[in-house]
Amino acid sequence: MKKVIVIILLYMISYIYPILVYAEEKTGYYIEVNITQNIVSIYDQNGVIQKTFYCSTGGVTPTGTYYTSDKYPWRMLFGNVYGQYATRIHSNILFHSVPYSHTDKSSLKYEEYNKLGQKASSGCIRLAVKDAKWIYDNCDSGTKVYLYKSSEPLESLPKPPFKIDVNDLEKRGWDPTDPDLNNPWKKIVQWIDDTPVFFKEMIITYHNENYDCDGFIYEDRTYLCRDDINKIFYKYANSESQTISEDIVSVSLDDIVYYRLRDIIDENNLLIEWNDNKMIIRNYEIMPYEQEEYELEESIEKQPNQEDDFVNEEDDKQNNFNLESNMLDKIDIIRN
């Protein structure tokens, strides 16, 4: 009988105080918000720092330890504005994006975006969209959040936030970090070793088939992720299980590995041409290089006093040799 009573009491306690039990739940990450310096730091459960990013706190942002709860893809905020990827910290204090005038991703309060890294909110923790989305996607409800004030140097500092040109009528209404495919910024704001890298939508043409992909230029080289590489190179490879060798140069952004296109091209015996945002990939074995396929007239500089209407046989051979050499040089120096 006593055992039954104990079980009933335990059930009643768990029913009456579900929030307390819920708050002690362990999740994959732990978050600190330095209100003084407007910096958010993400730690794993071993206390190893994983990410940092700038935020905007406010004069009434509370200090203390809290646990996240509700999440909202869009949330109406104080002042009749809206935030993307909102995660509730405590009461009416949330992580969320810089505010928008409407639930429209092109209605960003761009002047507020440029305040990231300084106090600007009514109390919530404002973030760039990619950072608000990262918390929304990766930090489960019940994640511990510690808000505090300190001027002491931090273990790790984030990259400086990108500044929007308020006179850029085309793009200023969008958060530059928003991954939406309609974003006119085309996901340009990422950083590698203090260097901004610029994402761009590209089309790869291979065997007269077009494939959309995202890549970026870094140190005059183009990088693609494995999924986009799979669209092309694995489809036409001899082995369905072809792997990318360790010799391929790669970089990592937001936990995604991107591989240098030139290395992939060379390893697969392919050729590549550039035309603005379009890349033409050729399989050298199937479509061998033919001089007449390339329009090189504009790249051939005429020598002084060169005649257009007369070329002797010896000069003709030399010109053909130079033409082929120029084309091979051009392929080697193509920015990719």
pLDDT digits over 39-86, tens only? 999 999 999 999 999 999 999 999 999 999 999 999 999 999 999 999
Cα–Cα distance for residue pair 305/308, rounded to 1 Å: 9
7: enclosing H helix or E strand: helix 2-16
**SS3 call for 293:** helix
Percent of the chain as helix, strand, coil, to the nearest 5: 25, 30, 45
Lowest mean pLDDT among 3-12, 95-104, 116-125, 228-237: 3-12
Number of H helices, E strands in the chain: 7, 17
* pLDDT above 70: residue 89: yes
Q: Nearest 5°: phi and psi at 180? A: -55, 135
| Catalytic residue annotation | 96, 124
How much is the pLDDT for 84?
A: 98
Cα–Cα distances (Å) from 98 to 13, 78, 131, 228, 282, in that order, read 40, 12, 11, 31, 44
Rounded Cα gap, residues 11 and 197, in angstroms: 55
Q: What is the pLDDT of residue 146?
A: 98
Do 110 and 184 contact (CB within 8 A), yes or no? no
pLDDT at 93: 97
* pLDDT at 91 exceeding the cut of 80: yes
Share of the chain above pLDDT 90, in %: 39
DSSP string, 234-250: ITTSS-TT----TTS-E
The dihedral of CA 61, 54, 141, 175: what is its sign? positive
* CB-neighbour burial class of residue 176 (10 A; exposed 0-12, middle 13-18, buried 19+): buried
For the CA atoms of the chain, what is the radius of gyration? Answer: 28
Name the residue among 268, 258, 262 with its Cα closest to residue 225: 258
For 326-333, what is the mean pLDDT?
A: 42
Name the β-bridge partners of 67. Answer: 144
Angstrom distance (rounded) from CA 88 to CA 22: 14
Distance, in Å, from the CA atom of 266 to the CA atom of 332, rounded to the nearest integer, reads 10
Location of structure tokens 């996240």 = 68
166-189 pLDDT per residue, tens: 999 989 999 988 878 788 876 554
So what's the pLDDT on residue 194? 64
**Structure confidence by residue, pLDDT tens digits, 292-306:** 333 333 333 333 443
Q: First-to-last CA distance in the chain?
A: 77
| pTM to 2 decimal places | 0.56
pLDDT mean over 10-37: 62
Strand pairing partners for 197? 190
| Top-ranked range on mean pLDDT: pick from 103-107, 153-157, 163-167, 269-273 | 103-107
pLDDT, residue 329, reads: 45
Q: How confident is the model at residue 125 (pLDDT cuts 50, 70, 90)?
A: very high
Domains of the chain: 25-148 (2.40.440.10), 190-333 (no CATH)
Q: How confident is the model at residue 222 (pLDDT cuts 50, 70, 90)?
A: confident
